[in-house]
Structure 1
Amino acid sequence: MDQQQLAYRMFAERAGRDFLTGLHALPEFKPRPGVDLGRLRISVTLLGDGDPHLGFADMDPVNLGDLASIAVRRAEGLRTKHAQTTRPTLRLIGGTA
């Protein structure tokens, strides 16, 4: 593995651990007593070279739903940004002058 690949892998591992730290830091949504929303387990594994498991976080569906909404808004923004960066071109298809 060259230096650039190693740096990217270290960045990916750090991002995965930071993501899990952020999930653990979220306060749990607690509905009224007697209501069980269930829990969802988010697992983070770094793919490639042995696929090390970085950890997991158990979350309530309300927090996870909010994170999903944030991810969707970010994806829409990125798609819009990248669509605007393409420069339109004019092409002559054919014909006589």
Structure 2
Amino acid sequence: MDQQRDVYQQLAARSGRQFLDGLRALPEFKPAPGIHLGQLRVTVTVVDGKDVGFVDMDPVNLGDLGDIAARRAEGLRAKHARLNARPTLRLIGGGQ
């Protein structure tokens, strides 16, 4: 059981690193010369594990990512609702 927990923590850490790498790859949003928007820090920690790392981001990119995640969540909820609403054929009884 401990081995399985370790594997899941390693997978979570790898996913966290991939997420942070993706955030770092985004170009910083710069509205105009001399204007500084401030930064927000995104930290990834494996629950009951270690810190994976952090990245400082501008609020515009982070807000856009939040909007994208919200749209994806809405689409996934709608998809699952459609799948659960489909009629299914069930075989009851039978046999010899």
TM-score, normalised to structure 1's length?
0.79
Tell me the secondary structure at the aligned position of residue 35 of structure 1: coil
Cα RMSD of the aligned pairs, angstroms, is 1.7
The Cα shift of 1:36 comes to: 1.6
Tell me the secondary structure at the aligned position of residue 58 of structure 1: strand
One of 67, 70, 82 as aligned partner of 1:69: 67
Gaps of 5+ in 2: 88-96
The Cα shift of 1:85 comes to: 1.7
**Residue identity matched to 1:79:** R
The Cα shift of 1:3 comes to: 4.2
Measure the CA separation in 2 of the matches of 1:6 and 1:77.
32
Match of 2:31 in 1: 31
Match of 2:91 in 1: none
TM-score, normalised to structure 2's length?
0.80
Match of 2:58 in 1: 60
Measure the CA separation in 1 of the matches of 2:85 and 2:78.
14
Gaps of 5+ in 1: 90-97
**Residue identity matched to 1:73:** R
